[in-house]
Structure 1
Amino acid sequence: MFVPILLRKGSPLRLDYGIWSIQGRRKTQEDAHSAVPKLLEGEEEEEAQRPFAFFGVYDGHGGEKASEWVGQHFDKIFGDKITQSGNQTSAEVLSKALREAFLEVEDQWMGIADQKKECSGTTAAVVVVKDNDIIVGNVGDTEVVVAASDEAEQLQAIAVTEVHNPKKNKAEGERVVKEGGIIHRDRVGHPQFNPDLMSIAISRAIGDYGFKAKEFTGGKNSGLIAEPYVTTLTLQPNKHKFCIIACDGLWDVITADEAVAFIAKEQAKEDSDAEDAAKALVEAAYKKGSTDNITVLVIYFHWDRQQQQ
C-alpha cells in the first residue's frame, strides 16, 4: 500500500500521487511529465523548511523534443529561482518564482531551438505544493482541476488553470489580434505563411521556434507567447480532496465534473491508489474515443486527523 508523502515535519498535509500516460491513437508519443515529491529538500535547519512537491504535464506538438526537454529541466529551473530568492517560501514569492521559471524555460529552450532549428513546442501545466498552498501555472490547454466539497458536501470541479486556446477562450483570440497576430478558423495563424497551411490551436506555448523567430516570421508578431497564467489556492482540510493535471487528450472527451466524479469513486476504493486512479481515467478517455496522447497525473490530499476536527 502506498505511504503518503510528508513534505516536512509538522505539515498537516500528506500527498499520494500517480501518473499514467499512453500514446493512444497517435502515431507518436509527444506527452511528457515530471514529478519531484521533495524538491530542494535539505538537512540544514534553514533548508529544512524548503521542500516542495513539484508536478508537471507537458503536451508536445510538432515533435517530442520540446516536451521532453521541458519535462527534464523545469523543476531544476524552478528550484534555482527559489534559491536565488534567498529560499523565501511565501505563496507570493513562489508565484513570482514560478512565473520567472516559465520564462526562463522558454528562453533556454529557444536558445537550443535556435542552434538546432528545432520547431517543436509544448504546453505546460505545473503544480507546486507547499504546506497548505498549491501554486499553479500553465501555458496552453493542459489543465489543472481541484476537487472540492461544497456546503452540501457535494464534490465540485474547480478549474485552476486558464485555457489558452482561441476556440475555447475568446479573450485569448482578442489578445493575439491586438498584438498583431492572426486568428484563422479559431487558430493562431502563422504571420508569414498561409494560415490554411500553417496554424496552431493554442495561443501560449513554450517553444514553437517557427512561430517566434524573426527568420521565419519576417519580424511579424504571431501572438504566440510563453507568458504563463499563475494562481495560488490555499487548501482546506475536509474541503479539498484531490487534484488532476491532464492534457487535452483527456479534456477533449471528459469534462472536469466527469473527471472529478470518476476519481472520487476510485479514491473511495480500499485497494486503489492515485496511480490506479490515473490509469483508470486514461483508459476511460481512450474508450470514449480520444484520438490524442493521453496523460493524467492525480494528486490525493491526505490531511492530519487533528486538522480535520
Structure 2
Amino acid sequence: MSSDHSPLTRPDEVERIKNLGGNIHTGLYGFSGILTKFLSTIQDVTISLRVYHSNGIGGLNMTRALGDVYLKPLVIPDAEEREVERGEGYVVMGSDGLWDVVGVGEVWECLEEAERTFENEEDIVKNVSIGLTRGAMQKGSMDNITVLCIKISK
C-alpha cells in the first residue's frame, strides 16, 4: 500500500529535488567508493542513491523524512495520503532500517507464523514487531529499526 520515498524508486521525487537545486548520486568517490562498490557486488547489495545539496552536504537515502533539517528544503516531512477500502487484517509499518533488508514476502511469512502460533491478537502484533526487528538486525541492517504491527478490525 505504500511507495518508498527513495531516489532509487521515485523519479518524481528526484525531479522535485533537482528542481530545488539538489543532487542525487551515490556519494561513492575515491578509493573508499571503489571498495564499497566492489564489496556490494560480492555481497549482492544495492548501493543507494542519496540526496545532497549542491554544496555536497547531505547523503540521505530518502526524499521525505522527519528531522534531517540539514537537508531542507530538499527532504520534506510531507506525508503522502492514499485512500483504500479497509478490510480486516494486519498492517505492518516500518522504517527504512527494516525495509532495506526485509522484503514483503518475509513480512507475510512472519505474520502467518505468528497467527499459527498465537491466538491472542496482542501476542500476534507484539511477536511480529519484535520478530521483524530482530530479523532486520540479524540481516545486518545498519540503520535504526522501527516496526509497528496493528490489527485492523471491521
TM-score (norm 1): 0.38
Quick check: 1:180 aligned with 2:21? yes
Counterpart-to-counterpart distance in 1, 2:65 and 2:128: 28
Who is 2:134 aligned against?
283
**Larger relative contact order, structure 1 or 2 (CA cutoff 8 Å, min sep 6):** 1
Quick check: 1:168 aligned with 2:9? yes
Who is 2:93 aligned against?
245
Cα offsets for 1:63-97 (capped at 9, x unmatched): xxxxxxxxxxxxxxxxxxxxxxxxxxxxxxxxxxx
Higher Rg of the two aligned structures: 1
Amino acid at match of 1:243: V
Secondary structure in structure 1 of the residue aligned to 2:134 = helix
Q: How does 1:131-280 map to 2 (within 5 A)?
A: 160-185=1-26, 186-191=49-54, 193-195=55-57, 198-212=58-72, 222-236=73-87, 240-270=88-118, 272-280=123-131
Deviation at 1:171, TM superposition (A): 2.5
After superposing on structure 2, the runs of 4+ consecutive aligned residues of structure 1 that deviate more than 3 Å are none
Secondary structure in structure 2 of the residue aligned to 1:183 = strand
Q: Is the 8 A contact 1:189 1:200 kept in 2?
A: yes
Q: Residues 277 and 168 from structure 1, CA distance in 2 versus in 1: closer, same or farther, beyond 3 angstroms?
A: same
Gap runs ≥5 in structure 2: 27-48
Cα offsets for 1:207-239 (capped at 9, x unmatched): 333233xxxxxxxxx532222211122213xxx
Q: How does 1:63-142 map to 2 (within 5 A)?
A: none
Secondary structure in structure 2 of the residue aligned to 1:273 = helix
Matched-pair identity in %: 29
Q: Is the 8 A contact 2:52 2:60 kept in 1?
A: yes
Counterpart-to-counterpart distance in 1, 2:69 and 2:144: 22
Secondary structure in structure 1 of the residue aligned to 2:81 = strand
Amino acid at match of 2:70: G
Deviation at 1:294, TM superposition (A): 1.8
Deviation at 1:169, TM superposition (A): 2.2
Deviation at 1:243, TM superposition (A): 0.4
Amino acid at match of 2:101: V
Cα offsets for 1:156-204 (capped at 9, x unmatched): xxxx22311102323311221123322232211123x325xx3322212
> Number of residue pairs matched?
129
Gap runs ≥5 in structure 1: 1-159, 213-221, 304-309
Q: Is the 8 A contact 1:161 1:229 kept in 2?
A: no
User: What RMSD over aligned residues (CA atoms) do the two structures have, in Å?
Assistant: 2.1
Q: Residues 167 and 297 from structure 1, CA distance in 2 versus in 1: closer, same or farther, beyond 3 angstroms?
A: same
Counterpart-to-counterpart distance in 2, 1:249 and 1:242: 20
TM-score (norm 2): 0.71
More strand by share: 1
